[in-house]
Amino acid sequence: MADTLYLSLWYPNLRLEALADKLVQVLGVFAAHGGEPLVYSATVWPVDWSEAPVFQQIYGHGERGADAKFAVEQALELLHDDYAYEFQIGWSLWELELGDAGQETRMTAGQESGATGRWVRESRLVRVTGYGPLFDEGAYEQDGHIRIDFGSDAPFLEEDAELNVVGARHVEDNVRQLVELTAAVEKASGATARLLWSELGESLAQRLAARLGMRN
């Protein structure tokens, strides 16, 4: 079953005024690890997630995107203890695409041996959120001063597909990219604690080991 994957980052004695620098540092790492250099959108949420945004700007993909420093400065002009600041940025992974004739054959659950598919690099929008200390009753204590929402963990497992050597290599490439990005954002932003976790609470490492036959 696909799950949602997150990375939470914490910083010692972080002042609200310093949140902007941390967000710029985290967003700036993506370009070197499969991501885009420019930010797709910025949204400011007041009080908790049930409220309507007080600010939202969609810059666009690719060259239409905004420089991270500009997007963060624009959003954090509304600096409040009970606000959350969300930025979307593109991040590319290998994903399995079914249906094109003449491509590599993949068998998936419910598919016949003649089903075809191919591995392609697909860009997804990742959410990077900075929390004010009072937003959603202090949600940062559990979610981190900054939380990265990677979306579905399917590209790191492809549990519905029969993986051959090529497929296993692409899954491993995705996992390597995730690990390298995780380490890079921690180092670049000076986080003192980090946690890679899933919505259902299952261990990605254990599921991956079982998926690729690495369990002892």
pLDDT tens for residues 111-159?
Answer: 322 235 788 999 999 999 999 999 999 999 999 999 999 999 989 888 7
The β-bridge relationship of strands 66-67 and 35-46 is: antiparallel
- Mean pLDDT, rounded, for 93-108: 59
pLDDT band at 198 (very low <50, low <70, confident <90, very high): confident
User: Are the CB atoms for 171 and 158 separated by under 8 Å?
Assistant: yes
pLDDT band at 214 (very low <50, low <70, confident <90, very high): low
DSSP-H helix ranges across 55-164: 68-75, 140-143
Which position has the token pair 């420019």? 38
Least confident window among 47-51, 93-97, 113-117, 118-122: 113-117
Counts of helices then strands in the chain (DSSP H, E): 5, 8
Between 171 and 125, the more confident residue is 125
Structure token pair of residue 163: 């993986």
Please tell me the distance from the alpha carbon of residue 31 to that of residue 38, in angstroms, as a whole number.
8
DSSP-derived letter for residue 116 is: B
Q: Look at residue 106 in the predicted model and tell me its pLDDT.
A: 40
Please tell me the distance from the alpha carbon of residue 126 to that of residue 151, in angstroms, as a whole number.
7
Structure token pair of residue 118: 């191919």
Q: Is the pLDDT of residue 73 over 70?
A: yes
- Mean pLDDT, rounded, for 185-202: 90
Please state, for a pLDDT cut of 70, what percent of the chain lies above it.
83
Between 113 and 198, the more confident residue is 198
User: Are the CB atoms for 104 and 119 separated by under 8 Å?
Assistant: yes
User: Are the CB atoms for 82 and 132 separated by under 8 Å?
Assistant: yes
Please tell me the distance from the alpha carbon of residue 214 to that of residue 109, in angstroms, as a whole number.
22
Q: Is the pLDDT of residue 206 over 80?
A: no
Nearest to 183 by CA among 148, 139, 136, 134: 148
Structure token pair of residue 76: 């954090």
Q: What is the mean pLDDT of the chain?
A: 87
Q: Is the pLDDT of residue 49 over 50?
A: yes
Distance from chain centroid for Cα 23: 14
